[in-house]
Amino acid sequence: MSTIDETRRSAAQNTLLNRPGGLHLSQSTGRFIGKVFTYTLLTIGAAVMFFPMFWMLTASLKPEWQILTEPISIPSEWVHVQAGNTVQELPLWNTTNPAGEQEEVITIGTRRYTTVIDLNQLTEDMLISAPADALGETQPTEVGNVVLNVRTLTREDGSQIPVASLARDGGNILVAPVEALTAVASRMALAEVNAGERVTVEVGDASFKGRQVSDGPAVLALGPESELTIVGPKAIAEQAILVPAEVPVGESLVPIGNTELLHYSLQGYPADEYYVQLSSETWQPVIDLSDVNASAFAVENARLSEEVTTRTFNLAAMPVRTLTGEDGSQAEVVVLIRTAATSLVIPVEDAGSIRLSPISRLAEPFVLNIGGIPVRYRDDYVEHGEEQSVAIVGERLNMSLVAPQTAITEAFDVASNSLTRVTRLRLYYENYIEALSKDLGGATFFTFFGNSTLLVILNWLGHFFSVTVVAYAFARLRAPGKNILFIILLSTMMLPWPVMLIPQYEIFSRLKMINTLWPLFIRSFFGNAFLIFLLRQFFMGIPQELEDAARIDGANTLQVLWNVMLPLSKPALATIAIFTFWWTWNSFFEPYIYLSSPKNYTVSLGLGFFKSQYRYTFHLLMSASVVAILPIILIFFFAQRYFIEGIQLTGLKG
């Protein structure tokens, strides 16, 4: 008869049978272990579930580059040191100095080396053609003063000798004993090797594709390659000076540690002073945009002198011409931008803010129209930590940052791959400011918040109105056809939405509702199958007697619904509110199809602004996403008790 009774009985039997005799944990210990178990599971589960939010939070506080390359790390920034009195900054690296201490350094030069053999000294009797399976694993080994890729060759008689491979020989590999190679091998800079002409050298039957090094032998690069970087204390950066790229001349190699460094003398400086190059980059003359707006003007090229002189403003070389005014007066002007017919010029005395900037700070400029001349500019250009507006003028220049050789006495060499960037913790909270204040097609994120909130309220209104009425009818009233209608209601939950998308779009289009919020809330006034179902279930759980009492008092159906059912259904209404909020807030596809003007966009749609065809702006996307999900989290946190009480599925049957 009663399933529950059976359940009880069998449960009792099972547990009696299963319980090992003698092992009786006291109840409190058992409970304690249960608690520990529960909390451990909870914590592990929570860690897994919380991960997305955690990741979004950290990502929202990172600069863009760090999201791309270091997805799971602490938000941090690279540390730089200013180069002399220029606006350029040099990256700092961590390394271990010869004294064995950790030190922050700048890099001065890099050279890549390989091991070569002199092909002219290679003789036929050194060569062995060995099948690959007779050769052991490659082991880079220092032999004499070179490093060779040493393998163990097992000969047919079972004896083993160390060899290094020279070339592929069909399916075999051509090797030579390490012993024989040490005499002909040497270490050579890869740049030197590859600068040589390609040559083919025959040794017996074998032919080798090597390089003819200038003033040297024909060599074959065997590898392994290694790279050494010369680094020095960051104080060197203070002595850096910026010079045009053609100024360093007469390069010569000077040994430092196990490698060499290029030294230059500078044109126009004493010939016996040597310099090293810290970096070489493209720089761009810029001028304060305010100066352009105040003093620059467009003139016809005909009014400018043919003759042009070059004048340097803060290292930026600019063309200067003579302008003849309409009254015949003459003035010297700097030509900022020259097009086919006209030029943008500024009087020499107003050109003081012309200076150089590394192009890395000027990428993707915008264009402004001054007197018919397009002027490229950036209004977020940063110089010495300050944001300013500059116009991009004149020609790009290749510049070198150099430091006197006397400054690098403490330089040393390290393997390139042992260097790591110096970073420090930094939370990029600006991401939030930027994401929220950014102009997104004439609107900001707050507009989207407003629209989403409006939609939520309208959908709430719609659902509270329609769902309660319909659910009550299905829960309490009797009518022919009700069961069929209820099955239809349930089956509408399983309709594939793309079927209806186009016809629905046509309807809204005919109603002139495209690019309005209408299609996104009007349907809620006509009910929602899932919510109607949930509320009906809840209504069914409310005792009929309460309703009957009200009826006896003469209440009509709507009064019963309003005065009896709804006050008892607060949890279910909270559930409807949460589901409605959730769907409205996160819906992406429908707003995407129906809305086109940014002023009508919703939050989830607005997030899409940070993801374009070619590029994501992850840091902004993540900070905007965090802000976007906050309302849902808050609502769920405070309403979740009602939420769960509101779902009544007891008495559920097909």
**Interaction residues for another protein, span 580-619 (CB under 8 A):** 582, 586, 588-589, 592-593, 596-598, 600-601, 603-618
Contact 93, 82 (CB under 8 A): no
Nearer residue to another protein within complex by CB, 53 or 183: 53
Amino acid at 279: S
Binding mask 407-446 for another protein (x = CB under 8 A): -------------------------------xxxxx----
DSSP conformational letter for 478: -
| Tokens representing residue 541 in the block | 């759980």
Nearer residue to another protein within complex by CB, 365 or 404: 365
Site membership for another protein, residue 11 (CB under 8 A): yes
Site membership for another protein, residue 255 (CB under 8 A): no
CA-to-CA dists, residue 630 to 53, 449, 451, 602, 624, angstroms? 11, 12, 16, 15, 10
Distance CA 152, CA 481 (A): 88
Which of 55, 269, 297, 449 touches another protein (CB under 8 A)?
55
Which of 127, 134, 146, 173 touches another protein (CB under 8 A)?
173
Of 152, 174, 148, 147, nearest to 163 by C-alpha is 152
Site membership for another protein, residue 46 (CB under 8 A): yes
Nearer residue to another protein within complex by CB, 225 or 273: 225
* DSSP symbols for 229-285: EEEEEGGGGGG-EEEETTSEEEEEEEEETTEEEEEEEETTS-TT-EEEEEEEEEEEE
Which of 62, 81, 92, 151 touches another protein (CB under 8 A)?
151
Size of the site for another protein (CB under 8 A): 193
The distance in angstroms from the start CA to the end CA of the chain is 22
Site membership for another protein, residue 384 (CB under 8 A): no
User: If DSSP codes are grouped into helix, strand and coil, which group holds residue 419?
Assistant: coil
* DSSP symbols for 54-98: HHHHHHHTS-HHHHHH-TTS--EEE-EEE-TTSS-EEE-EEEE-T
Nearer residue to another protein within complex by CB, 157 or 366: 366
Nearer residue to another protein within complex by CB, 97 or 388: 388
Instruction: Scan residues 457-476 and list those touching another protein (CB under 8 A).
Output: 458, 461, 465-466, 469-470, 472-474
Phi, psi at 529, each rounded to 5°:
-55, -45
Site membership for another protein, residue 379 (CB under 8 A): no
Which of 57, 87, 167, 201 touches another protein (CB under 8 A)?
167
Kindly state the smallest distance separating residue 638's Cβ from another protein, in Å.
8
Contact 90, 78 (CB under 8 A): no
Nearer residue to another protein within complex by CB, 285 or 606: 606
Nearer residue to another protein within complex by CB, 177 or 358: 358
Which of 24, 29, 50, 235 touches another protein (CB under 8 A)?
50
| Tokens representing residue 228 in the block | 């050494």
User: If DSSP codes are grouped into helix, strand and coil, which group holds residue 328?
Assistant: coil
Distance CA 613, CA 591 (A): 19
Kindly state the smallest distance separating residue 436's Cβ from another protein, in Å.
13
Which of 120, 200, 483, 640 touches another protein (CB under 8 A)?
640
Cβ partners under 8 Å of residue 157, min gap 6: none
Site membership for another protein, residue 207 (CB under 8 A): no
Say if strands 218-221 and 297-300 run parallel, antiparallel, or are unpaired: unpaired
Site membership for another protein, residue 121 (CB under 8 A): no
Distance CA 301, CA 59 (A): 52
Nearer residue to another protein within complex by CB, 71 or 352: 71
User: If DSSP codes are grouped into helix, strand and coil, which group holds residue 409?
Assistant: coil
Phi, psi at 85, each rounded to 5°:
-105, 20
Contacts 24+ apart (CB under 8 A), 45-50: none
Nearer residue to another protein within complex by CB, 297 or 505: 505
Distance CA 566, CA 585 (A): 25
Nearer residue to another protein within complex by CB, 456 or 489: 489
Instruction: Scan residues 560-579 and list those touching another protein (CB under 8 A).
Output: 562-563
Distance CA 360, CA 364 (A): 10
Which of 197, 506, 546, 570 touches another protein (CB under 8 A)?
506
Amino acid at 382: V
Query: Quick one: which H or E segment has residue 432?
Result: helix 430-437
Kindly state the smallest distance separating residue 245's Cβ from another protein, in Å.
13
Kindly state the smallest distance separating residue 305's Cβ from another protein, in Å.
22
Kindly state the smallest distance separating residue 99's Cβ from another protein, in Å.
27
Nearer residue to another protein within complex by CB, 449 or 592: 592
Cβ partners under 8 Å of residue 121, min gap 6: 183, 184, 217
Site membership for another protein, residue 23 (CB under 8 A): no
Instruction: Scan residues 70-109 and list those touching another protein (CB under 8 A).
Output: 70-72, 88-89, 91
Kindly state the smallest distance separating residue 623's Cβ from another protein, in Å.
10
Nearer residue to another protein within complex by CB, 160 or 330: 160
Q: How far is CA 648 from the centre of its chain?
A: 45
Amino acid at 632: I
Which of 23, 99, 425, 477 touches another protein (CB under 8 A)?
477
Site membership for another protein, residue 162 (CB under 8 A): no
Binding mask 516-555 for another protein (x = CB under 8 A): xxx----x-xxx----x----------------------x
Applying CB under 8 A, the span of 321-329, 406-414, 424-432, 633-641 interacting with another protein comes to: 633-641
Distance CA 647, CA 654 (A): 17
Applying CB under 8 A, the span of 237-245, 257-265, 300-308, 487-495 interacting with another protein comes to: 487-495
Say if strands 218-221 and 102-118 run parallel, antiparallel, or are unpaired: antiparallel
CA-to-CA dists, residue 26 to 22, 85, 209, 413, angstroms? 12, 76, 82, 68
Instruction: Scan residues 276-315 and list those touching another protein (CB under 8 A).
Output: 279, 281-282
| Tokens representing residue 61 in the block | 């506080």
Which of 84, 216, 244, 358 touches another protein (CB under 8 A)?
358
Residues in the chain: 654
Sign of CA pseudo-dihedral 559, 565, 569, 573 = negative
Nearer residue to another protein within complex by CB, 244 or 347: 244
Nearer residue to another protein within complex by CB, 20 or 270: 20
Nearer residue to another protein within complex by CB, 543 or 654: 654
Which of 33, 68, 331, 546 touches another protein (CB under 8 A)?
68
